[in-house]
Each structure stands twice: as structure tokens, then as C-alpha cells.
Amino acid sequence: MAKTRIFLADDHTLLRNTLRLFLETKGEHLEVVGEASTAAAAVEGILCLSPDIVLMEIGLPDWDGIIVTGQILRQLPQIKMIAVTMYTEQIYLLPFLQAGGFGYIHKSATDRDLLLAIERVRQNEIFLSAAGVQIMAGRYRSQGILEKQETAEIANKMEKTGKAEEVEGAEILPDILSDREKQVLRLISHGYGYREIGEKLFVSTSTVETYKNRISEKLQLQKKAALIEYAIRHKLL
């Protein structure tokens, strides 16, 4: 297996050194290919080295990490950005995900959580901490898309810290869905009903129902909460 190339962006030299040693010692297939202490140096190094994954502190001294993420992904959209930060999810999680980030982990997290985050992101999955899951699930509830019980279902599933295969449907990749099926799943996850989806896509309600049934069959997921959890995890929103 080819090694996953990682770039470190953090203004604390000791932390970067510790992370490099940890990743190259504990991560069998991980290689740190570069590092930077400022946002400007990070952008330059990342664009030059084109790593697979970037572990970045949101609060770099010169630029906001959200801005850095957007700049990098506009030029190299294949790079996966993970925030490893001292800032709690309440402040930066949603803007970071909207900028294209794939994972958000607080610096108080365990070594195991960091390795799990890297592994999940390598598989094109979103990685969130328990706090991040609660924020995302709560957002859906506040928008009226989910009921309280369904919100709890998403939180309980996504808070699992085992292998991705332990989560229902997680081993089934989104590539199995057609572009139209992904579009329908995205609209369902945003709270649209079958009639509204049909109007947006210029198809009948029964056709939308057929798409939804195909999606459920392919992903082996029947409940709306499970479909939304899948869409969050696989960055289909």
C-alpha cells in the first residue's frame, strides 16, 4: 500500500515535532512530507508538495484557517483538509466544512482519534468528534428536517469510534449511486419532500419515490435519519 502523504500546519514547533514523530512511528502507511508554521508558508508548501492530507491549526498567526482551506482547495481540490485545533467545534466547525474541510478534531483528542480521523478521511469520509456530531445533528433538528429521536439516531451512529465498517452502510461507497440518485439524496437530506424534489428536478412524485427506493436498496438504509447520516459522512450535502 502506498503511503499517505501528510503536511503539518501549526505555529507550535513542539507540537509539529511531536505529531511528526507520532505519525511516522504509529502510522504504518503515513509519511510527513512537509510542515509550516504560518498560513502563507503552508499554502506555498502544500501547493508545491501536493500532499494527500493536511493537518492544520485553524488559528494560524497570519491568516484564518478557513481562508487557507478555501485557497488550497480551489487549486488542489483533491487534497483532504483536517482541522487539528485548539478551537471548539461551536466556533469553526460549520465554516470549515463549508470551505471543503473533511475532518475536525480538537487538540485534546486521543492519539487513537487522530489516527481514526486520518483513516476515515483517506476513505473520503467526514470525521467529526462527538461534539461535532451533536452540532450537525442539532442543526438538522432546528431546521425541522428531523425529529428529536431521529437526531439522536444520527448522533449515536456517528459517535462510534470503531472502524468505519461498524457503522451501518458505511462500507458502501457513494460511487454506487448515479448522479441523479446523489442529487435526490442531497435534496432529501436538506429536508425537501417528494413533491418539492419533483418540481426541482422536473419529474413526477412517483419518479422521486422510485429514486429514493433505489437509493435505500443500494445503500441498505431505510430510515431518513440513516440516509442523512450517510450523506453527512460521505460529504454529499
3 residue type, one letter? K
Q: Residue 7: pLDDT band by 50, 70, 90 thresholds?
A: very high
Average pLDDT over residues 104-115: 90
Same domain for 119 and 183? Answer: no
Same domain for 54 and 97? Answer: yes
**pLDDT value at 164 more than 60:** no
Cβ contact 105:118 at 8 Å: no
Boundary residue ending a domain (100, 128, 156): 128
Q: What is the spatial distance between Cα 123 and Cα 24, in angstroms, rounded to a whole number?
A: 19
pLDDT of residue 165: 36
For the chain, the average pLDDT equals 83
Average pLDDT over residues 15-30: 90
pLDDT of residue 79: 96
Average pLDDT over residues 178-201: 86
26-81 confidence digits (pLDDT tens): 877 899 999 999 999 999 999 999 999 999 999 888 888 888 998 999 999 999 99
Grid coordinates representing 135? 452540532
Boundary residue ending a domain (128, 163, 191): 128
Same domain for 220 and 203? Answer: yes
Same domain for 88 and 192? Answer: no
Grid coordinates representing 172? 458502501
Grid coordinates representing 93? 466547525
pLDDT of residue 131: 76
Boundary residue ending a domain (110, 128, 146): 128
Q: What angle do CA 52, 70, 185 make, to 5 degrees?
A: 80
3-state percent breakdown (helix, strand, coil) of the chain, nearest 5: 55, 10, 30
Cβ contact 159:233 at 8 Å: no
> Among residues 121, 58, 70, which one has the least CA distance to residue 100?
70
Same domain for 89 and 144? Answer: no
pLDDT of residue 161: 41
Pick the range with the lowest mean pLDDT from 58-72, 105-119, 165-179, 214-228: 165-179
pTM score = 0.66
Cβ contact 167:116 at 8 Å: no
Domain that holds residue 51: 4-128
Grid coordinates representing 54? 493536511
59 phi/psi in degrees, rounded to 5 = -95, 60
Q: What percent of the chain has pLDDT over 90?
A: 40
Total of domains in the chain: 2
Q: What is the spatial distance between Cα 135 and Cα 155, in angstroms, rounded to a whole number?
A: 9
pLDDT of residue 143: 58
Same domain for 121 and 157? Answer: no
Same domain for 31 and 119? Answer: yes
CB burial readout 172-184, b (16+ within 10 A) else e:
eebeebeeebbbb
**pLDDT value at 167 more than 60:** no
pLDDT of residue 41: 95
110-159 confidence digits (pLDDT tens): 898 899 899 989 888 888 877 777 777 666 666 555 555 555 565 565 55
